[in-house]
Amino acid sequence: MGQQEKIPAEEALNLVLGKVKPKDADLKIEIKDALGRVCAEKIFAPIDNPPFDRSPLDGYAMQSADTAGASAENPAQLRVAGTVYAGDVFAGKLGKGEAVRIMTGAMFPPDCDCMVMQENASIADGGKIVSVSAPVAAYENYIRAGEDIRKGQLLIEAGERLDFARLTILAAMGMDAVPVKALPVTGLLCTGDELAAAGKPLPTGKIYNSNETLIGSRLRELGFSPKTLPASGDDAGAVAAKIDSVIDELDALITTGAVSVGEKDIFHEVFNILGAEKLFWRLNSKPGGAILTGIYRGRPLMCLSGNPFAALTGFELIVKPVLGKIASRADLAINKRRVKLRENLPAKPVRRFIRARVENGEAAFPAEHLSGQIFSIAGCNSLLDIPAGAALEAGDETEALLF
Residue from 52, 79, 129, 390 binding a second copy (CB under 8 A): 52
Yes or no: say if 99 and 108 are a contact pair by the CB < 8 Å rule.
no
Residue from 15, 31, 129, 364 binding a second copy (CB under 8 A): 31
- Using the minimum distance from each CB to a second copy, give the nearer residue, 96 or 128: 128
Question: Under the criterion CB under 8 A, does residue 32 sit at the interface with a second copy?
Answer: yes
CA 144, 147, 152, 156 dihedral sign is: negative
- Using the minimum distance from each CB to a second copy, give the nearer residue, 218 or 351: 218
Yes or no: say if 365 and 339 are a contact pair by the CB < 8 Å rule.
no
Chain centroid to Cα 22, Å, comes to 16
Question: Under the criterion CB under 8 A, does residue 346 sit at the interface with a second copy?
Answer: no
Residue from 5, 10, 11, 147 binding a second copy (CB under 8 A): 147
CA triple 397-398-403, angle to 5 deg: 130
- In angstroms, rounded to a whole number, what is the distance separating the alpha carbons of residues 300 and 293? 7
Count of beta carbons in the 10 Å neighbourhood of residue 337: 12
- Using the minimum distance from each CB to a second copy, give the nearer residue, 104 or 122: 104
> Taking contact as CB under 8 A, which single stretch among the options 169-177, 247-255, 295-303, 343-351 is the one that binds a second copy?
169-177
Residue ranges in 120-139 that form contacts with a second copy under rule CB under 8 A: none
Residue ranges in 191-250 that form contacts with a second copy under rule CB under 8 A: 192-196, 198-200, 202, 204-210, 212-214, 216-218, 220-221, 228, 234
CA triple 18-22-28, angle to 5 deg: 180
Question: Under the criterion CB under 8 A, does residue 58 sit at the interface with a second copy?
Answer: yes
Question: Under the criterion CB under 8 A, does residue 35 sit at the interface with a second copy?
Answer: yes
Which residues are bridge partners to 398 per DSSP?
Answer: 339
Which residues are bridge partners to 129 per DSSP?
Answer: 79, 124
> Taking contact as CB under 8 A, which single stretch among the options 10-18, 20-28, 52-60, 269-277 is the one that binds a second copy?
52-60
User: Rounded to the nearest whole angstrom, what is the least distance from the CB of residue 200 to a second copy in the complex?
Assistant: 7
Residue from 143, 291, 319, 356 binding a second copy (CB under 8 A): 143
- In angstroms, rounded to a whole number, what is the distance separating the alpha carbons of residues 214 and 48? 47
Yes or no: say if 346 and 354 are a contact pair by the CB < 8 Å rule.
no
State the number of binding residues for a second copy (CB under 8 A).
84
